[in-house]
Structure formats: C-alpha cells, structure tokens
Structure 1
C-alpha cells in the first residue's frame, strides 16, 4: 500500500479481515498521505449496506465523484461492510466503480472476501488484515491506562487481551467499562464486564466431558449460560480457541471440532443455544466412553 501511495498510483483496493484490525484507519492514513490537510474534502466514507439501499449509496458516490477539490487526479471513496451487499447490489456497485474509475479510487472493506463477487475482486488489489496480536493489544491498553490514570493488574491486561480476541476496539471499550465500574481493572472485573468465561472454566467443562462426566459438564455449562449470562455463540468461540490446549488424539480432536461446527451452525440458524451446547457435551462424553 505504501508503494502505491509513494508513486501516487493507487488502484481500487479491497481490505478484508475481522473488525477493529485497522481497515478504516489504513484507508484514512492513505488519504492523509495523499492529500495532506485536504484529505477530508477528498475522502468519502460510506457504509455500503446503508439501510436506505444501494441506490442511495450510488447517488452519494456520483455526487462526490462529479466534483473535484484541490486539483488532485482522483478522490477516494471508502465503502465499509461491502460484504453485506447482495450479489445484485454488488453488481450495481461494480458498474458505478467502472463509471467513475478515471477520477475516483474505491477502497472496499469487508470481513469476508469470499462474499465479494469475482468481478469486483478482479478489479481490486486485495489486502488481508489479521487479528491483532495479544502482545500488541496489551501494549496499547497499557499506554491508554497509563495516560488516563487507570489502575490495573497484569492479570487484568491479560484478561482484556483474551476477551478482545484480536479486536482492539473491543479491548479499549472493555477497559473503559471496567474502569467506569470503579476500582482496579483486574481479571475479575474484566471477565464480569465482558461476560466472558475464564479460559480455565471452558477447559474444565470440556475436560469433564472428555472424562465421561456429562452431568458435571452440563452443570458447568448451565452456570455459564443461566447464572452468568454468557451467550451460546461466545461460548462456541471460546471452545474453539481452547480445543488446541488439550492433548487430544487426532481422532478425538476431529470429532470435537466436527460437533463444534455443527452446534455453531444450528445456533446461527436459530436453534436453542443451551440445547445445542448440551448436545455437544453429550457427544464428547459418549465418544470418550467409547474410546
């Protein structure tokens, strides 16, 4: 990206990756580098999935692209959440991109590049953004806490990084919420404010199932969902992150991952979260008993 900017030869770009990994910040940095103090006049940020429809988005693009400011060769339009558009809407967007390609560069942002139609992907340079490393999250949170005078423990920082799972915005929001609750931002405060189970709690639940103790595993799950208010989808995510902490044989790991994927799919389709997670634990316990 830096080389494009240095040559002032920017193609259309597609930024793909999880939320809060720097896609919007990178697009803005490009504009600031190209236009300096004029960057806001030459940079239009839109949500591609505007509830008013793609036609409204296209009209705003046309109005922006038809004008110029500061004598620059082109202006930049940043379209966030492009993967939320239907294929038909993306096709309409592609035609708009072609129509104004001479004096406009498009930067599209999405979580999943696979949801962007091929005709758009073939017209863009694709850059993939990875989740932010825990060490980088902790370093940033430490700086913010020091600047704001927030007291914290090292265990609290580790918990913030775990709960954020590579999402810097989530980490900062969690720090703010935990600090607002009063007192020191420690491990207990972070897990409570983010409705996140401790890693060891997830591991204990699975270990009980692997030991054939379905009743104990089920009671542990009920505590997380009913008493602590954790969402089933979040527990699925934490289970996925914890699987590789167990010393499982390949067959057992494959079975657990398969059941995890099935539960995740059924929950996304509207099935009862607790029932699906109990079925997952039951399958793990049964498989453990047969081995």
Structure 2
C-alpha cells in the first residue's frame, strides 16, 4: 500500500496522520510478532474454511488488525460491505445482538459464501447478551462468521468459546516492536537514537500501538528522538530509577526511597498502578535473592490489589516501601 493511499485512508493530510492507522498492516503477512497465529489464519483463508474466531490478549498486540486483514483478504475491495465491526464496550446490551447483528446477518448479499461480524471487546457484553449472541451464532452459521476480540477469554461464556477457534495473542516481543519503530522512523525521516529506541520498547511493554503513539508524540518535541524525550512524553520512570528506589528500601533507607517515589508521582506524573507495574517488571533485575524476590512479589500483589479496590495510591506504595525497609531491618 502506497503512502499516499495510507494518507487517504487515514483521512489526514501528509505529516498529520495518526501513525497507528497510517502504518496499520493491511495483510496478515505484514502483522508483526505472531507468525504462528498468522500462519493458521492464512491456512483458513486459503482453504476457504473460516470458522468462528476468538482473539484473546492484551491491548495493542494486533487483534483488531488481524480481523480487518482477514476481511481484506477474503473480500478484496468489497470488504467494507461484507464486514461489520462493533465495539461491545459501547454497545453491550442484548438489543445490539438482537438488532444490529441479526439485521446484518439476515441482509442479502452476493458473490460470497458468508459475511464477517467483528465484535471488539466482547468480554464487555453482559451474560444475557452473550447468551443471545450464542443463539445468533447458531442461527446464522450458514452465512455469517463471527470474530470476537477480548482481553480476558475467561469472561466469555463457555458455549461461545466452544464454538470458536481460540487464538491467544501474547504481548509482542521487544525485537518486533524495535523493528517496527525503526521502520516507521526511517519512513518518516525521523532520527531516533539507540537509547531512544530502547526507551520506546521499554515504555511499550509489548504494546505496539503504545510504541507507535509514543514515537509520534516524541517526534514533535525536537529533531531527534532520544530517551529523555520518550520518558517525558510517556510519563514513564527510567528502569534505573525504579531499581534504585527498591534498592534503597531494601537497604533500609526508607526516606530516600520515599523521596524517589514522591518525585515519580508528583513530578513525573505517574499513576500508582503504573509504578506498581514497573516495580513488578524490575523484580528480577534488581539482583535479589530468591527469598527477597518472593517477599517483594508478595508485597507488590497486596499493594496492587488494594489500589485496584480504591485505596490511596501513595499511601499503599509508601507502605510497600516501608514493609521492604522493615524486612531489611529485621534481617539485620
């Protein structure tokens, strides 16, 4: 696909497009980081034997891209008229299943054996809506294929899961994210330093959409995208800051660890949940013994649960650091 075509499809003017749409893969073969999944999907298309599909995995790893690419490869230029995309988080009631999906499934069309209905964030559907969807999948199985996308397959009722071929999308490997970032930077004529690429990969944490958005945002701050620009734009702490904070707590220096935490929350503007995530990612990089790592993981889990239940983020994070400092003092 030419850059001009991508520009037109994104609906923007050159240099002002949203890059996640401009560089969205148009074919399954172009989807990065999921070679086994892509190979299986391509075999379905080659045999003209597409089952109902369930894509499960975190955000930004290619679920929607694969669904649209399937439609493009099956229908070619007619894909828009034979592909219905719905977001279940916006339209999660039983009426959506009964009305929009059924009307699309019933409508007449020519030249193809079936149409494709893509239901994004299907785990947001109520149980009643999922039960209605199960019946609809049975009723229109002759001329309709469903592709469901969700973050957690456990929230999809078993009767629907058993009717689908399940594909689990894992977070993208760092190498796949790095390759894509470098290709986009080269296409846009942006200079990205090696440490800038490393920072983008770290901040993305397997989310390609976040990596591309961060690259586009950082590219507006200057001629060169380096790690300073990336960490500022993404409000992400440097890995060494997190490690130093944990080390200080483990060494019993609670005041110093608390000062670092306060800077992350107030100056960097990080959310408590993000700090927890970064501490969790750093557990095995701090050089702890197995016993210390297990103790830290226990504290992280407790703080994460309390924050998710609505507790004060700063209080819980300080309590986490304090417990590490107390454990250190007790060990001495």
TM over 0.5: yes
State whether residues 50 and 57 of structure 1, in contact with CA within 8 Å, keep that contact through their aligned partners in structure 2: no
> Any idea what the Cα deviations from partners look like across 1:64-108, whole Å, max 9, x if unmatched?
111233321111000000111222322222122222222111000
**Separation (CA, whole Å) in 2 of partners of 1:63 and 1:51:** 15
> Any idea what the Cα deviations from partners look like across 1:13-51, whole Å, max 9, x if unmatched?
100011111111111121122222222211111102224
Matched, 1:89 2:129: yes
Alignment of 1:1-291 (within 5 A): 1-51=41-91, 53-291=93-331
Q: Matched residue of 2:141: which SS? A: coil
Which has the higher mean CA deviation after the structures are superposed, 186-195 or 60-69? 60-69
**How well do the aligned residues superpose, as a CA RMSD in angstroms?**
1.4
> Any idea what the Cα deviations from partners look like across 1:184-241, whole Å, max 9, x if unmatched?
1110010001000000000000001111111111111011101221111111111111
> 1:290 offset after TM fit, Å?
2.0
State whether residues 79 and 108 of structure 1, in contact with CA within 8 Å, keep that contact through their aligned partners in structure 2: yes
**Separation (CA, whole Å) in 2 of partners of 1:52 and 1:116:** 13
Q: Matched residue of 2:159: which SS? A: helix
Count of residues in correspondence between the two structures: 291
TM-score (norm 1): 0.96
> Any idea what the Cα deviations from partners look like across 1:233-290, whole Å, max 9, x if unmatched?
1111111111011222222212211111111111111111100100111111111222
**Separation (CA, whole Å) in 1 of partners of 2:120 and 2:92:** 15
Q: Flag structure 2 segments of 5+ consecutive residues without an equivalent.
A: 1-40
TM-score (norm 2): 0.84
State whether residues 83 and 116 of structure 1, in contact with CA within 8 Å, keep that contact through their aligned partners in structure 2: yes
The 3 A distance-change label for structure 1 pair 52 and 84 is: closer
**Separation (CA, whole Å) in 1 of partners of 2:321 and 2:161:** 41
Which has the higher mean CA deviation after the structures are superposed, 70-79 or 31-40? 31-40
> 1:55 offset after TM fit, Å?
1.0
> 1:9 offset after TM fit, Å?
1.1
Which has the higher mean CA deviation after the structures are superposed, 148-157 or 190-199? 148-157
**Separation (CA, whole Å) in 1 of partners of 2:86 and 2:92:** 12
Q: Flag structure 1 segments of 5+ consecutive residues without an equivalent.
A: none
